[in-house]
Chain A
């Protein structure tokens, strides 16, 4: 196999946010990551560090991860000040160490937003995003008894537009990237997806009002057009969906 043997290895200095619990004080700690190759993903690099910490009898760094292929949306780290590390359209788990140089210093922090309290170290609670969906991010279709799928043709541009919006993985990078801690890109994506489809239009007005109210109740801020969300989004969700969110909201007032 390739890997360590075929590539020069790198040594990196990691400055990592450690926090024992939501109400505990946090601080940065420094670690060294050794024998890292181009093929390591960022999380695999942290695995290597954690294995050493455990063997030294120290507490490993807690971070959220699962699918490690960029789709479950659970990984959530701010790397050198950028959500998911700043590679375009890439989650932390898909960030690879070929982007870093031997000897680099890397700062690693959790998502920071009022609506995302820290659970431990780099892990935050993103339950607020579920609350926004629960407020109305669905069509009220009952199980069974739905009409034949082809009975409502949907023009391809609308279907593609809905799919562009539906690509959101709910990771919350948009919130972490936003100076206002707003969840407008996340909310806008779901509102736009459903508003673009005939199935979703019936409840569109009710939905947008309820979802925005839920976002406010959860402690998210509002959009002031910084576009940082779009820059941080690993799925390339476009800010046009925030514009659509606003239009849907205004339409709902009349």
Chain B
């Protein structure tokens, strides 16, 4: 099937304004008749729930954590982009748009990206009005810094805790609506099914994680804001609770899954230390502003970092990409680090690391200024590794970090299931094959504050409110299905824990579907994943009962969803027989190792449709048009 993204037509510069004007509105007095279910309360979900509640809709919001303030958006450190051009260095909405389309390696929709760039400025205004304490200069104006993939300073930041501060801003707006009664908040709940009535999303089935109760909430529309699936690699920078479950359940109900093979590997993470490890920790990429990345020129270098003289160091990013240097985009920096390590010049335990060195910037700017800029990151590094980054170079290595793929949505953020909207990292829309730094926070808040309040209206205006209640047969069937699934998990009674299976899956996905993929590695993964799945249903061990708080049961459900999803991820990576952005097929590269796109055959979004248990999923495509920015080889040299 050829999918239609329902993008506006005409000049891109006027597209969002025109689209907003063309969209139907819901009369203010009618808004309270509609109920919207918002699942997930990170940047996208909290801002959406707050904005929709403020508009007068009835909103019910759900999260699996104990409070909406805990969503993993909180861990984003570096910053948020906007085209304010406050530093007067040549930025504009058009340039932000250009950088994002290019950064995504020409696999994102131009119109969606334009909208993102345009509303970016409003996001900053919004957050400042909420009291988000962005960094200021001594005149009292907002401060900016630069980030990977950009040559202008357009990143707004709040120390190394930008995600936290933006999330707390959205959380406070949400809290205000909870107090006003427009939003009802349900914490410690997990979505386990979507209820479709006449093909439209009219409810969600969830498990109360404290009591174990399975129940349905009905509404007139559902917004999934449930984040990404980077934990499919087991070890990632995501929080342990981040899962693919909500969007996977939606996929199994018919929502198309777009570009699952686009998974971003972040270059500046603390290297893995042991097999017991539960996560990888990301350090803000802003460190690359002042830190210089190098490895010893000699293989098997035994000297301590500080004893290696200048002439024996290889500042490989500065050497290979002179104009971007240490700020080269994430996929390029990650692959370059892996190349050095694969070539035997890696540093630290197991040779899986490269140095991130602040010696020169401390000499130039003084330790105090470096401490002021990145102090919390240095502290974090020391806590985890026991090393002082001011005295010896830090060690970094790439780790899985962010999902650019997600459920397919049209320009209004609606999936192919009417009434099912998908926001933030959970959708696929603006990042293309690669995400530039400081753009995830931007997308989450853009979708929640400034897109969905407009784009949900035409759908609601065309539907009758309160169509379905929990007595509907589809609701009862959904509860039965979920109960059946839980019984099945508990009845296996084997010997291995969900964590064992996640480790097995991670070994396959990271090694065979990680930074570099090939036809062989993907084929191998596609034969191994079904084995893991089969073993899961034979040998899983979950203790405890379903009718109580049961963390093993939660983990087991998320694990099988990841195992099933990994299969789709591999299929997508295999079908996309080109390299682009974070999807690097080793068969397709230029002589210097750069990713080689195949625009003639793959300039499209691939969206997969579920065809039933055991059946091959169906690959649909949405062609991408680039009318403003001519696709070119993405060079950062």
Contacts and interface: CB of A to CB of B under 8 A. Distances in A.
B549 interface: yes
B7 interface: no
A134 B179 contact: yes
A153 interface: yes
Interface in B1-56: 47, 50-51, 54
B593 interface: no
Contacts of B132: 166
B415 interface: no
Interface in B71-124: 71-72, 74-75, 84, 86, 122, 124
Interface stretch (B215-223, B312-320, B378-386, B469-477): B378-386
B126 A43 contact: no
A199 B131 contact: yes
Interface in A121-152: 123, 125-127, 129-130, 133-144, 146-150, 152
8 nearest CB pairs, A to B: A3-B274, A153-B140, A2-B349, A138-B172, A141-B129, A146-B129, A149-B128, A162-B133
A156 B136 contact: yes
14 contacts: A4-B275, A40-B274, A72-B70, A127-B66, A143-B54, A144-B126, A154-B140, A155-B136, A156-B140, A159-B140, A162-B133, A166-B168, A197-B131, A199-B131
B65 A74 contact: yes
A193 B134 CA distance: 12
A68 B350 CA distance: 23
A59 B544 contact: yes
B122 A144 contact: yes
A72 B179 contact: no
Given A2-B274, A156-B138, A54 B543 contact: yes
Interface residues of B, number: 89
Interface string B51-69: 1001000000000011111
A59 B274 contact: no
A73 interface: yes
Contact of A147 (B125, B495, B552): B125
The range of chain A's interface size is 35 or more
B453 interface: yes
B396 to A, nearest CB: 15
B229 interface: no
Interface string A229-246: 000000000000000000
Contacts of A166: 132-133, 158, 165, 168
Interface string B275-303: 11111011000000000000000000000
Contacts of A39: 273-274, 277
Nearest to B168: A166
Contacts of B70: 66-67, 72-74
Nearest to B496: A55
Interface string A93-124: 01010100000000000000000000110010
Contacts of B256: none
A147 B165 contact: no
B596 to A, nearest CB: 32
Contacts of A2: 273-274, 348-350
Interface stretch (A10-18, A44-52, A175-183, A217-225): A44-52
A199 B130 contact: yes
A69 B281 contact: yes
A162 B131 contact: yes
Contacts of A156: 136-138, 140
Nearest to B549: A120
Interface string A1-27: 111101000000000000001000000
B541 interface: yes
Given A57-B543, A138-B176, A126 B66 contact: yes
A228 interface: no
Contact of B125 (A3, A138, A146): A146
Contacts of A205: none
A66 B239 contact: yes
Given A3-B274, A96-B386, A137-B175, 13 more contacts: A2-B273, A40-B276, A54-B543, A69-B279, A69-B281, A74-B70, A119-B549, A133-B172, A138-B175, A139-B130, A144-B453, A149-B142, A159-B140
Contact of B541 (A47, A48, A54): A54
A189 to B, nearest CB: 11
Contact of A69 (B86, B141, B380, B543): B380
Interface string A66-95: 111111111000000000000001100010
Nearest to B453: A143
B239 A51 contact: no
A200 B122 CA distance: 19
Contacts of B453: 143-144
Contact of B86 (A140, A150, A197): A150
